[in-house]
Copies of this chain bind each other. A is one copy, B any other.
Amino acid sequence: MNNIIFTHKVGDSLKEVLNHIAASEIFILADKNSAKNCLPLLPLEKVKKENIIIIEGGENNKTISTAEKIWNVLSTQGAKRNSVLINVGGGLVTDVGGFAASCFKRGTKCINIPTTLLAQVDASVGGKTGVNFNGLKNEIGTFSIPDMVIIDTCFLKSLPYRQVLSGFAEMIKHGLLLGGEHFYCIMEINPQKIDWDNFLDVIRESVSVKDKIVQQDPTEKGVRKSLNLGHTIGHALESLALERGEEFYHGEAVAYGIIAELALSVKKVGFSLAIFEEVKNYIKKYYPPCIVVENKEELYELMLHDKKNEKDGVNFTLLKEPGKFIIDNYCRREEIIEALEYCF
């Protein structure tokens, strides 16, 4: 993880990184919330006011037109290829900012300072960038590893509980993918009572699961597909909620995606029923209920649009046991609809 810093002194770390990369100009991207709560924690005295780009928060703003807004500032303010864009915020900011940076002059430098648990353990690392298009999540984007990611739990102390849960779902996923001690460590955490000052090592271990997989397969031709555990069904639930205007966070959708995809794993590749029950009960205990899905066909249609699908049928990563995943399992409509029952 040589491009990820875990720190309790984000300001000092940022200074060091900026000294090291010697960018010609510094630009900042933040959403309104992180501009208010997080930018004051960073040493940005030398950054020109015109170089600070504030965007509206919310999935609705993860669009090409937000990327154009960023490009417009970069272009107008004379950004060059070795200028740097520092993305400060949650997954929206690191995804759209990372996309904008990766396409500006075919790639300008980029630093992520993720300020939500979700962005720290998932969105800001691994180089997937993107915006939504035609109602489909991350339909347009690039693979582009940021020059540096700086992770400090200080930003998480004021995080609303549902946002903690949203990030924690990815940690459950990483626990399932790695297995062993780390999986049991995750299952023993009470997400309502996290001591953030002593949580940096757990985050580091969780991120390292993703990082190792991404190193092996940056552009998702093979093993990286394992990181989609919970996401094929999760993305469909999330798209449905977005369509309806219901608030259902990414990680909440992924948590229920994990339940359904573990149910498929039990049925298709012999995952332990006992561990399935344990994970399902954990999620149902701490997470808000899943959105209501009356017409499961509609969910299935959304899954067919998933980027990972290469032929007819829906492609899943399934688990044989914690730590042993199998990519490229094609499941049938009926199997998927049956598995969805366990979410409700």
User: Which residues of chain A have a CB within 8 Å of any CB of chain B?
Assistant: 24, 64, 68, 71-72, 75-76, 78, 80-82, 102-107, 128-130, 133-134, 136, 138-143, 219-220, 304-305, 307-311
Give which listed residue, B81, B129, B130, contacts A308 with CB less than 8 A: B81
Asked if residues B305 and A139 are in contact (CB atoms below 8 Å), the reply is: no
With both beta carbons as reference points, the residue of chain B lying nearest to A74 in the complex is identified as B139
Cα-based distance from A136 to B75 in the complex (angstroms): 9
Asked if residues B107 and A219 are in contact (CB atoms below 8 Å), the reply is: yes
Closest Cβ of chain B to A243, distance in Å, is 15
Instruction: List, in ascending order, chain B residues with CB within 8 A of A133's CB.
Output: 68, 71, 75
Asked if residues A130 and B143 are in contact (CB atoms below 8 Å), the reply is: no
Given A68-B64, A72-B134, does the pair A305, B78 have CB atoms closer than 8 Å? yes
Asked if residues B104 and A139 are in contact (CB atoms below 8 Å), the reply is: yes
Cα-based distance from A136 to B104 in the complex (angstroms): 11
Give which listed residue, B64, B71, B107, B307, contacts A106 with CB less than 8 A: B307
Asked if residues B139 and A105 are in contact (CB atoms below 8 Å), the reply is: yes
Given A24-B310, A80-B307, A305-B78, does the pair A103, B71 have CB atoms closer than 8 Å? no
Asked if residues A106 and B128 are in contact (CB atoms below 8 Å), the reply is: yes
Asked if residues A102 and B142 are in contact (CB atoms below 8 Å), the reply is: yes
Cα-based distance from A220 to B76 in the complex (angstroms): 23
Give which listed residue, B68, B106, B141, contacts A141 with CB less than 8 A: B106
Asked if residues A80 and B310 are in contact (CB atoms below 8 Å), the reply is: yes
Instruction: List, in ascending order, chain B residues with CB within 8 A of A128's CB.
Output: 106
Closest Cβ of chain B to A286, distance in Å, is 32
Asked if residues A142 and B103 are in contact (CB atoms below 8 Å), the reply is: yes
Closest Cβ of chain B to A106, distance in Å, is 5
Cα-based distance from A107 to B310 in the complex (angstroms): 13
Q: What are 20 pairs between A and B in contact, CB < 8 Å?
A: A24-B311, A64-B64, A68-B133, A71-B140, A75-B134, A78-B304, A78-B305, A80-B307, A80-B310, A81-B307, A81-B310, A104-B140, A106-B128, A106-B130, A106-B138, A106-B219, A106-B220, A107-B142, A107-B143, A142-B142
With both beta carbons as reference points, the residue of chain B lying nearest to A23 in the complex is identified as B310
Give which listed residue, B75, B134, B141, B309, contacts A80 with CB less than 8 A: B309
Closest Cβ of chain B to A221, distance in Å, is 10
Given contacts A64-B68, A106-B307, 19 further A-B contacts (CB under 8 A): A64-B64, A71-B133, A71-B140, A75-B133, A75-B134, A75-B136, A76-B134, A80-B307, A80-B310, A81-B308, A103-B103, A103-B142, A104-B139, A104-B140, A105-B139, A105-B141, A106-B141, A107-B143, A142-B142
Cα-based distance from A136 to B105 in the complex (angstroms): 10
Asked if residues A75 and B139 are in contact (CB atoms below 8 Å), the reply is: yes
Cα-based distance from A24 to B80 in the complex (angstroms): 39
Cα-based distance from A138 to B219 in the complex (angstroms): 24
Give which listed residue, B68, B134, B140, B219, contacts A103 with CB less than 8 A: B140
Closest Cβ of chain B to A317, distance in Å, is 15
Cα-based distance from A174 to B76 in the complex (angstroms): 33
